[in-house]
Structure 1
Amino acid sequence: MRELSAVPGPAPLTRRRPGDQVERGLLEVQALIEDAVVRHRNFVSRGAVVTSVKPDEAVLSAEAARLIGRTRRGLEVVLASDVPRAKGIYRALGEMLAACGDAVTVRLLCVPETLDREFVRTQLDAGRQLEVRTAQLPWMETVLVDNQVVLACADLVTGNRQAAVVRDVSVIRTLHNLFAGVWRRAIPVEQQLDFGGWARAEFARRILDRLNAGVTDEVAARELSVSVRTYRRYVAEIMEMLGANSRFQAGARAAELGLLPLGPASRPARRTA
């Protein structure tokens, strides 16, 4: 499969299109996290079923790595956060899988931006029990360990970020069921297009966003800081990869694969922790 040509500099994170069943399911998870934290806000003892976690980059990364390292049977991860955070999760997953081998089953649900194909290939070649799927998801990160404890972090409707470690059986059961529902509708990684790395994939999505918005080639090229000729070459390469004969077909195929970004009016912008 062809890769896109080198792109000019790193691309900023984009936002994604809501409205389908996958998105609604994850919005339920957001509401569940908020409700769990609010209801158990005053639980501070060691036996607390819900413990609030400071939504700080270092704190969240350390807590996620700690929980992933405790996995003994099964791990379900929703990785719909930012690329820098995703790299930390992949690092912790790699260390855990190296220690546990095929004794642990991992299901990883991510967005196209956070899909690390090299990691997936390496783990599968090593015989790890790893399944990976992608979907359009709101900003979210959950780590469910052995169906006993979950670290959940999400951007809430208010625009605030909330994180908590949850041991409440009913909350964990609900999260697991929601994960299963989203998983069934997500796209297996083998059906995803390989644009050749995070930066190239992100640049391709920015092009698809402009095709979907119907802007002229001149405007799109200017916004992406490339020449019109270069922009049109990228468009042709993307259409070939999508198997599309027209830009309209390319947009339809991109939407089917969950590659189209979300419009600015749909929800608050993604942000870093």
Structure 2
Amino acid sequence: MTMYDDTPLQATTSAESYYLGVDGGGSKTLAVLVNAQGEEVGRGLAGSSNYTGVGLESAVSNIYAAVQQARNVLDPHSPIAKAWLGISGLDRPADHAALIPLLKDLAATVYLTNDGELGLSVLPDAVGVVLIAGTGSIALGRNARGLTGRAGGWGYLLGDEGSGYALGIQALQAAVRAADGRGPSTILLERILQFWQFQQPEELIGAVYLNTDKAQIARLSTCVLQAERDGDALASAIVQNAITELVLVVRTVAAKLDFTVEQALPWHWVED
């Protein structure tokens, strides 16, 4: 369960008040700081803040690193009135309980939600469906009655179909099958070796099993998309499967919230 407040964050009349937004994904964390007039005054970028992927310590450290970069333009004592942190992987009460004590000092008021809530906020009246397809994948929605629904977001072992990680791992599987001769030839093998600057397919073993950074595998999605554009049949099949899965999660959320086929469905795509 996540916490969400649909009341817009109101700026105060004080010129010294600032407002912070944090988009924490599986690959990167973006922090943006604005003044009371809504003008951007600073931004920062750091690594993943999905603590289910990188651990609590690393996730919190990356959040603070991104926020500190954004704050570098300010006096160290300048207050932040309100902060909205949308963090991927934040789905259960236990997640909220683990993170909020470590992040509550970022601002006088801190809102901590799943990153999908950030996407919903850009839709008119926050009604519609947001699809996030980055290192992981998830769709969240809200209808005009305030009911919410979601599909996907189960993580790389249970789901995340259509995500960058799913594209990357399927490409690796196709590549090693081709290397063995167990599967069709594919330029994915060559592209992945080039991307990671490897000489032999056997080097893939260490890169996958000795590295816990899911974002590294997710970045191989660029190889898949390039190979698909170059006409590789296996890459095309992987991309088409991803599209099918992403459409399915959007349709599933829309059905849960009684969005009809006849009405125009507000939606927002977020690439992590």
On whether the aligned pair clears a TM of 0.5, the verdict is no
Q: Normalized per residue, which structure has more strand?
A: 2
TM-score by length of 2: 0.30
Q: Normalized per residue, which structure has more helix?
A: 1
Question: Is the radius of gyration larger for structure 1 or structure 2?
Answer: 2
TM-score by length of 1: 0.30
- Ranked by relative contact order (alpha carbons within 8 Å, sequence separation 6 or more), the top structure is 1
